[in-house]
Amino acid sequence: MADHLSKTTTPHDLLSIRGLRVEFPPEWAPIVAIHDLNLTVAPGETVGLVGESGSGKTMTARSVIRLLPPTARVTRGEIRFEGEDVLSADSEELRRIRANGIGTVFQDPYSSLNPVARIGDQITEVLRLNLGLEQGEAEARAVEALEHVGIPSAKKRVRSYPHELSGGQRQRVMFAMATAARPRLLLADEPTTALDVTTQAQILALLKRLREETGLATILVSHDFGVINQTCDTVAVMYAGYIVEHAPVRRIYAHAQHPYTLGLVHSIPDIVPPDRRGHLSTIAGQPPDLSSLPDGCPFKPRCSLAKPECSQVDMTLEAVAERHFTACPFARN
Amino acid sequence: MGAQLQTASENGPGSTADSPRPLLIAEGVRKTYVFRRTLMDRVRRSETNLLAAVDDVSFTLTSGETLGIAGESGSGKTTIVRCLIRLVEPDSGSITFDGIDVRAASGSALRDIRRRMQMVFQDPHASLNPRLKVGACIIEAGRVHKRPGASNRDVFVSQLLELVNLPSSVAEKYPRELSGGQRQRVAIARALAVGPDVLIADEAVSALDVSVQAQLLNLFEDLKRELGLTMIFVAHQLSVIAQTADRVAIMFLGRIIELGPVSVVFRDPQHPYTRALLAAHPQPNPDQRLKIEFQGTSVGLDVKRGCQYRLRCPYAEEVCEQETPPLAPAGPRQVVACIPRPFARVGQDASEADVVR
C-alpha cells in the first residue's frame, strides 16, 4: 500500500482518498461496500471507475461528497479535497465544497431536475445560492452556461420545463448546472447510460470539451469500458469493493494484468461481426455476494488462475509498471 | 433432452431447415398512435397529432436464422416485434407465420401462434411473477399450453433448467433470490417450456453486466443450435447484434432504413444513419477515437414527406425532401432506403442483389 501511495500521492493532488472503508451496519448481514480504498485525482485529470454492479464504484464517487445512502457508514479512512478534510467537514464547509468545489451529474437527469421549475430558474438558483450572484447576473450566467453545453437558442430554452427537453438535452442541462459554479472536480456517475448511442457520443464530446476549456478534473463512473477508454486518462477497475487494478487506459486495454480485468476486457462484444460464429469469452460464475466474500481475493471463486495462496492475498495494489498497479500477486510475473 | 422439449420438428412444414419458404413474412406493417388532443387543440381545431411508431415495415424471417433489429429509442423496434404476436394490434399490413394469417387469427389459433413465437423481455424482474417459485412458474407455462411432459413436474422443470445451465435447486427459489443473469435464464426457460419455433429477445441482455451478458449471448447461441430455434434479437447495442445476428434491420423513426447480412451491413454500411450509429459506438480500444457523423437528435416528428433522417443527415440533397426513399437493392442481399447513396460501391449494382428483404 505504501508503495502505491508514494507513487501516486503528491502535494498537488486535487482529491486524495486514503484507506476508505464504507460499511453497512449488520442488521441482516454485515456488508463492506468499500475496502480500504486509495485513489488520487490530480488537477485536470480524468479518472474512470469501472466495474460491474455492486463493485462499489458509485459508493466511492458518492463518498467524496458525503452523499452515501443513510444506512452506509464510513468506518475508516480519509478524504481530502484541495487539502480540506471532507469527512470531518461541518455542514457549512460541506455545503461550500458541494457548491463550488465539486459538481455532480448522475445517470438519470429527469430525477435530478425539479419537474415543476423552469430549467433557467433551477440554474439561477444554484448560482445565487452558491456564488452569491444577484438575480440579473445569475440569469445571464445561466444562459451562458446553457450555451456552453450546446443547448440551441439558450435564451428561449431557459423558460423550458424539464419534460419539454429530450434526454440528451436534459443531461446537457445537468452538465450546465454542475459546471456553472466553475468547480475543480466533476463527479459523473453513469452520465450516458440512459442515453442513445449517438446522444452518448455527443455528451462524451461535451465532457471532453469542458475539461479542455476549464481544466476540470473528473471522476467518471461507468460499467462500459468503451465509454471509459474513450474519455479517461487513467482507470481503476473495481471488484467487490476493492480496486483490483489501476493504470492508464492504454495499459488497461493492451496490458491488463489482473485476471478480472482481462476477463472484463475480453467479454466486451466486438462491433465487428466475427467471420465464424463462436463463443464469446466470459467470466465464469456469478457476481459476488458482498455478504459472504471469501478470505483473501474476492475474485478467487471465478478466477481461472486461482490457487490456494489466493486466500492469503491482502489486496494491496503493487506496481507492475510505471503508473500501473494491480492487486493480484500472481499476475505480476 | 427429452422428447417433450423437441421444438422445431413438430410444428409443421415451415420449420424444417431446408424449406425455401420463409417462416415469417411481415408486409407493410403500420402502427400509428394518436396523441391525446388537449382542450386547446380542440378549440383551435388543430390537426390530430399522429405518431407512426411503425411505418410500412416489411421483412421476412427464414427458419433457423437470427434477425437482429437495431435502432435508438423510439425507432419502433419493440413495437414491430410486439405486432408480430399481436401484443400490439397493427393498423394495417399483413403478417404471415408459417402460412397462417396472424392478423386474422383468434382463439386457439392465436394462442398457438403465441406459443410458437415466445418473447423474452428486458427486465426479468418485471416479467416473472414475484410470488411464484421458479419451478411453479415454468410448470404453469407448460400446463397452460398443454405441453407433453408437463404432467411430470420435476422432470419437466429440471430438464428446462438444465437447458439454460441452472441447477435444479433453483426450482425452489423465488425470483428475488436470484441474480439478474439467473432471472433472465429462468425467463428463457419459461419461454422454452412451451416449445416455441421462434424466440424473440427484446433487449434481453441490455440490463446485464458485461460478463453476464456474454454468458447469456453464448446461451442463446447454444439454444439456437441445439433446438433449431429461429430468433429475433432486438437490441440498441450494435455489438450485441454483431455477435448474434445473421441479418440485421436498422430502424429509424418507425422505418427500416437498411437491411442485410450483418457481415455486409456492419462492414460496409450504405445508409448515412447506419454509419453514424456504428461510428458512435464507443470502442474499448482508446486509440480508435469516436467519430461524430451526425447532428441533432431523433426527435422530429413533423417530417410528413421525404426522408425522415434528412434533418440530421450531412449528405441530404433536395430529392430527400421530395420523396420518401424506398428500400432499394444495394448489394448482396442488402437493401437501403437512401436516394443519394453517398457510399455506393463502385461496380456493384442491383444485379447482385438477388433476394431482397
pLDDT tens digits, residue range B128-187? 999 999 999 999 999 888 888 888 889 999 999 999 999 999 999 999 999 889 999 999
> Is pLDDT of B299 > 70?
no
Do the chains contact at B218 and A166, CB–CB below 8 Å? no
CA of A90, closest CA in chain B: separation in Å? 38
Residue A170 covered by a domain: yes
Q: Which of B60-64, B115-119, B329-333 has the lowest mean pLDDT?
A: B329-333
Nearest-CB residue to B217 (from A169, A264, A280): A280
Of the candidates A240, A236, A215, the one whose C-alpha atom is nearest the C-alpha of residue A292 is A240
Residue B264's CB: how many other CB atoms inside 10 A?
19
Of the candidates B323, B312, B317, B306, the one whose C-alpha atom is nearest the C-alpha of residue B341 is B317
* A120 and A49 within one domain: no
Looking at beta carbons, which residues of chain A come within 8 Å of B181?
286-287
Mean pLDDT score, A4-11? 48
Of chain A residues 152-171, which have a CB less than 8 A from chain B?
Answer: 166, 168-169
> Is pLDDT of A117 > 90?
yes
Which residue in the block uniquely carries the three cell numbers 416473472? B128
Q: Which residue of B has its CA nearest to A269?
A: B239
The Cα A159–Cα A138 span in angstroms is 14
Q: Which residue of B has its CA nearest to A55?
A: B209
Interior/surface letters A86-112, b for 16+ CB within 10 angstroms, e for the rest = beebeeeebeebbbbbbbbbbbbbeeb
Looking at beta carbons, which residues of chain B come within 8 Å of A282?
211, 214-215, 218
User: Residue A140's pLDDT is what?
Assistant: 92
Do the chains contact at B266 and A272, CB–CB below 8 Å? yes
Do the chains contact at B287 and A250, CB–CB below 8 Å? yes
Q: How many CB pairs under 8 A join A and B?
A: 134
Do the chains contact at B211 and A283, CB–CB below 8 Å? yes
Q: Which residue of A has its CA nearest to B181?
A: A286
* A146 and A14 within one domain: no
Instruction: Please tell me if residue A116 touches chain B, with a CB cutoff of 8 Å.
Output: no
* A280 and A188 within one domain: yes
Looking at beta carbons, which residues of chain B come within 8 Å of A250?
286-287
pLDDT digits (tens, 9 = 90+) for B210-255: 888 999 999 999 999 999 999 999 999 999 999 999 999 999 989 9
Residue A130 covered by a domain: yes
The mean pLDDT value of chain A amounts to 89
Residue A272 covered by a domain: yes
Q: Which residue of A has its CA nearest to B289?
A: A230
Interface test with B, best of A198, A224, A289 (most B CBs within 10 A): A198
The Cα B294–Cα B303 span in angstroms is 18
**CATH number of domain containing A6:** 3.40.50.300
CA of B186, closest CA in chain A: separation in Å? 15
> Is pLDDT of A175 > 80?
yes
* A156 and A137 within one domain: yes
User: Residue B122's pLDDT is what?
Assistant: 86
The Cα B312–Cα A143 span in angstroms is 25
Please, which residues have CB within 8 angstroms of residue B36's CB and are 6 or more apart in sequence? Answer: none
CA of B48, closest CA in chain A: separation in Å? 20
Looking at beta carbons, which residues of chain B come within 8 Å of A269?
213-214, 217, 237, 239-240, 242-243
Secondary structure of residue B245 in the 3-state scheme: coil
Of the candidates A4, A40, A35, the one whose C-alpha atom is nearest the C-alpha of residue A219 is A40
pLDDT band (50, 70, 90) for residue A202:
confident
Instruction: Please tell me if residue A12 touches chain B, with a CB cutoff of 8 Å.
Output: no
Residue A249 covered by a domain: yes
Domain count, chain A: 2
The Cα B125–Cα B141 span in angstroms is 17
Interface test with A, best of B184, B274, B290, B301 (most A CBs within 10 A): B290
Instruction: Please tell me if residue A135 touches chain B, with a CB cutoff of 8 Å.
Output: no
Residue A275 covered by a domain: yes
Do the chains contact at A223 and B209, CB–CB below 8 Å? yes
**Considering chain B, what percentage of its residues have pLDDT values greater than 90?**
59
pTM score, two decimals? 0.86
Rounded to a whole number of angstroms, the distance between the first and last alpha carbons of chain A is 19
Looking at beta carbons, which residues of chain B come within 8 Å of A277?
221, 243
CA of A131, closest CA in chain B: separation in Å? 33
* A174 and A193 within one domain: no
The Cα B181–Cα B211 span in angstroms is 10
The number of C-alpha atoms within 13 Å of A74 and in the hemisphere containing its C-beta is: 21
The Cα B349–Cα B221 span in angstroms is 34
Strand-strand pairing, B230-235 and B198-202: parallel
Instruction: Please tell me if residue A29 touches chain B, with a CB cutoff of 8 Å.
Output: no
Instruction: Please tell me if residue A104 touches chain B, with a CB cutoff of 8 Å.
Output: no
* A97 and A31 within one domain: yes
* A198 and A176 within one domain: no
Please, which residues have CB within 8 angstroms of residue B126's CB and are 6 or more apart in sequence? Answer: none
The number of C-alpha atoms within 13 Å of B28 and in the hemisphere containing its C-beta is: 4
* A208 and A155 within one domain: no
Query: Facing residues of B335 across strands?
Result: B259, B329
The Cα A38–Cα A209 span in angstroms is 28
B122 and B81 Cβ atoms separated by less than 8 Å: no
> Is pLDDT of B4 > 50?
no
Residue A298 covered by a domain: no
More confident residue, B151 or B107: B107
* A191 and A143 within one domain: no
Mean pLDDT score, B286-298? 64
Of the candidates B259, B281, B202, the one whose C-alpha atom is nearest the C-alpha of residue B59 is B259
Looking at beta carbons, which residues of chain B come within 8 Å of A264?
210-211
Helix (H) or strand (E) holding B198: strand B198-202
> Is pLDDT of B97 > 70?
yes
Residue A238's CB: how many other CB atoms inside 10 A?
26
The mean pLDDT value of chain B amounts to 85
Q: Which residue of A has its CA nearest to B71?
A: A196
* A286 and A191 within one domain: yes
Q: Which residue of B has its CA nearest to A51?
A: B209
pLDDT digits (tens, 9 = 90+) for A263-321: 999 989 889 888 877 888 888 888 888 888 999 999 999 998 899 999 999 999 999 99
* A220 and A174 within one domain: no
* A285 and A215 within one domain: yes
Mean pLDDT score, A254-270? 92
Domain of A65, in residue numbers: 2-101+181-293
- The strands making up B334-336's β-sheet, listed across from edge to edge, are B117-120, B198-202, B230-235, B66-70, B247-252, B255-261, B334-336, B328-331
Mean pLDDT score, B280-294? 77
B55 and B30 Cβ atoms separated by less than 8 Å: yes
Instruction: Please tell me if residue A273 touches chain B, with a CB cutoff of 8 Å.
Output: yes
User: Residue A8's pLDDT is what?
Assistant: 47
Residue A309 covered by a domain: no
Instruction: Please tell me if residue A206 touches chain B, with a CB cutoff of 8 Å.
Output: no
Residue A323 covered by a domain: no
Nearest-CB residue to A224 (from B218, B240, B282): B282
Where is the domain boundary, A180, A202, A229?
A180
Instruction: Please tell me if residue A191 touches chain B, with a CB cutoff of 8 Å.
Output: no
Where is the domain boundary, A126, A157, A180?
A180
Instruction: Please tell me if residue A265 touches chain B, with a CB cutoff of 8 Å.
Output: yes
Q: Which residue of A has its CA nearest to B248?
A: A273
> Is pLDDT of B17 > 60?
no
Query: Facing residues of B67 across strands?
Result: B232, B247
Q: Which residue of B has its CA nearest to A201?
A: B280
Secondary structure of residue B89 in the 3-state scheme: coil
